[in-house]
Structure 1
Amino acid sequence: MATQAEDDYDKLTPEQREIRDKADRAREAEEQATLPYTWRQELGELDLVIPVPKGTRAKDLIIVIAKKKLSVGLKGIDKILDGELCQEVKLDDSTWTLQDQEAVHIHLEKLNQQQWWENVLTHHPKIDVRKIQPENSKLSDLDGETRGMVEKMMFDNQQKQMGKPTSDEMKKMEALKKFQAAHPEMDFSKAKIS
């Protein structure tokens, strides 16, 4: 079900969409900058970097990675982050390391390897996963059907932005042309493709 904002977005010109997208990206960047960590993701995994006081040792850290929970803290101090993960992770493939005694690196393997996460912890600000541009090299990680669907969506999105017909509209136009060629006796001057 489309929200009001999505309906409005569909009615915008490409220039208006670009302006709204820039504003949305700036708002997301501001919200993400307030988090006590930075993060990046690929379809199958997610990585966080959490700054800690210089000189921190691994034995000073209390880190809990559970299937749907993440907690990072220093002994004797309030937790740096604590909450429910946006989605489930594979425990055996999720790890953490302390780098240069000043940053905790956490690697989470997603249980669902075909889904972008809107946020790391459910109570943190969300990003618009529809605007994520997957790296072309990573499209090869998808299974054939999903890859075809993603490529079609990307093509259709590009076509819409240029004011050109989508792949479905092109198929309908081609079918109409074939039908016209097979039936030259019919008048198609008022035919509409919908």
Structure 2
Amino acid sequence: MSSADPDQNLSPAELAERDLQEKDRQAREAAEQAQLPYKWTQTIRDLEVSAPIPSNIKGRDMVVTLTKSKISVAIKGKEPIIEGDFPHPILVDESSWTLETTSNPPGKEVILHLDKVNKVEWWPHVVKGAPKIDVTKITPENSSLSDLDGETRAMVEKMMFDQRQKEAGGLTSDEQKKKELLEKFKADHPEMDFSNAQIG
């Protein structure tokens, strides 16, 4: 298997069709996310969730429950704005919520900062059962990668590389290493027969 660009084997019509499917998928995903009563973004380390609330609401009117695996955000006496189980655990002590005044549109919003336990995992949604995003399409900004310590950054970059290689039908970094070791060993031992050698 080569790690060549998989696109080069596609005809212009197939490429156009694939681009159309990708745009369609993105539009569907965006429409599903827009239907949620909250907005959310994430980095590899944390999530930020925000939801508009009436401007007369004060902090004491909010009922916010955060546990390692669950969330509930509601205005007292009303249906929860967001409620459910997280797809992955959070660090409760590092997570928080605030009530902030917004100017555009005028009003308030509740903002939650959720700190992930696993700092190398993208979340497909905030709570199970909500519409998912395609985490394989996430390309983190290099700036957020540079914030990570060396070991974590190397692990994230390796995961991203392996993900791209898998999608392209190429070898993961571990498989490439094995292949390089085998090639070196072959060169050092020309007297041995490697015709049936397998990588994996």
Q: Which TM-score applies when normalising by structure 1? A: 0.71
1:73 is aligned to: 74
Residues 17 and 172 of structure 1, relative CA distance in 2, 3 Å threshold: farther
Alignment of 1:62-101 (within 5 A): 62-100=63-101
Q: What pairs up with 1:149-188 in 2 under 5 angstroms?
A: 150-151=156-157, 157=164
1:74 Cα deviation from its structure 2 partner: 0.9
Task: Say whether 1:108 aligns with 2:108.
Answer: no
Residue identity over aligned pairs, in percent, reads: 41
CA–CA distance in structure 1, aligned partners of residues 40 and 126 of structure 2: 8
Q: What runs of 5+ residues in structure 2 fail to find an aligned partner? A: 1-5, 102-106, 191-198
Q: Does 1:138 align with 2:139?
A: no
Task: Determine the C-alpha separation between the residues in 1 that align with 2:42 and 2:126.
Answer: 10
Letter in 2 for 1:127: I
1-structure distance, mates of 2:68, 2:85: 9
* Alignment deviations for residues 54-99 of structure 1 (CA, whole Å, 9 cap, x no partner): 2211111111111111101111212212111111111111000000
Deviation string 1:137-158 (CA, Å, 9 cap, x unpaired) is: 22231543x6445545656849
Alignment partners' CA distance in 2, 1:155 and 1:45: 21
> How far has the Cα of 1:25 moved from its partner?
1.2
Distance in 2 separating the partners of 1:78 and 1:165: 49
Amino acid at match of 1:33: A
Q: Is the 8 A contact 1:52 1:102 kept in 2?
A: yes
Segments of structure 1 that go 5 or more residues without pairing to the other structure are 1-8, 184-193
Q: Give the secondary-structure state (helix, strand or coil) at the position aligned to 1:43.
A: coil
Check conservation: 1:114, 1:142, Cα contact below 8 A: no
- Greater relative CO, 1 or 2 (CA 8 Å, sep 6+): 2
After superposition, the Cα gap between the structure-2 partners of 1:132 and 1:142, relative to the gap in structure 1 and judged at 3 Å, is farther
Distance 2:65 2:171 in 1: 50
CA distance in 2, matches of 1:104, 1:40: 14
SS in 1 for 2:94: strand
Paired residue secondary structure (2:95): strand
- Helix, strand or coil at the partner of 2:81: strand
CA contact (8 A) 1:70 1:84 kept: yes
Structure 1 residue 61 and structure 2 residue 65: aligned?
no
- 1:25 is paired with a residue of what secondary structure? helix
- Indicate conservation of the 8 Å contact 1:95/1:106, yes or no: yes
1:172 shift after superposition: 6.4
Which amino acid letter does the alignment assign opposite residue 19 of structure 2? E
- The structure-2 alpha-carbon separation of the partners of 1:70 and 1:166, relative to structure 1 and needing over 3 Å to count, comes to closer
Between the two proteins, the alignment pairs up a number of residues equal to 178
Task: Please tell me whether the aligned partners of residues 38 and 81 of structure 2 are also in contact (alpha carbons under 8 angstroms).
Answer: no
Task: Name the CA distance, whole Å, in 2 between partners of 1:120 and 1:58.
Answer: 22
Shift of 1:19: 2.7
Amino acid at match of 2:118: N
